[in-house]
Chain A
């Protein structure tokens, strides 16, 4: 089965740039989606199709995907960005969705 690997935690100071990685075998050949989940709330889609933003998501959120790593980048980090972030792909070879283990973003 396809596995997505995320770092358990990332810390960043306000105003700096946070980068959250998602590793998977040849993940660059798949479309990666990213979700933000704040405590007690449902996940929210923040990036789809590697690098597209849904309406209402700030331009500070961006994504990239190449080789074996996809990356969610959050520029000019704010306290309100503190949350868990999950990457996700559709594994077409097995017909199922895969989530990464999640990364807790802490704003120092």
Chain B
């Protein structure tokens, strides 16, 4: 059974750095056909993609948040970590991690969407 579980602080202060961990099970972060993404959702608002990482350490970031985000992985621990600097109240949201399923044909990656999601972790930014 594939599962992902987010963990991190419930409350952070403005200007602080947020560190979130996604612990996965049922698949390996060394699998070239799978990646892990972070997505957030402010209360009552739409989903917003943040970043993703693949087995070869290839990373991509949201254009608008790129300067504040860092994604990394520890394959041996089955964990993907997201850090976001300079937190602001507008960053208050539920943060999800999700597995990205891909296929690789002739060296080209085809994305099949985010097929398994964690339950999400709620982060509030307030002094």
Contact = CB atoms under 8 A, between A and B. Distances in A.
Contacts of A45: 113-115
Nearest to B118: A42
Interface in A18-45: 31, 33, 35, 37, 42-45
A73 B1 CA distance: 29
B47 A102 contact: yes
A48 B113 contact: yes
Interface stretch (B13-21, B26-34, B57-65, B80-88): B57-65
Contacts of A94: 63
Given A42-B119, A94-B63, A99 B46 contact: yes
Nearest to A49: B112
A90 interface: yes
B61 A86 contact: no
A45 B98 CA distance: 11
A88 interface: yes
Contacts of B62: 96
A86 B113 contact: no
Contacts of B96: 42-43
Contacts of A37: 47
B49 A44 contact: no
Interface of A: 1, 31, 33, 35, 37, 42-45, 48-49, 52, 54, 86, 88, 90, 94-102
Interface of B: 37, 39, 46-49, 52, 60-63, 96, 98, 101, 110-115, 117-120
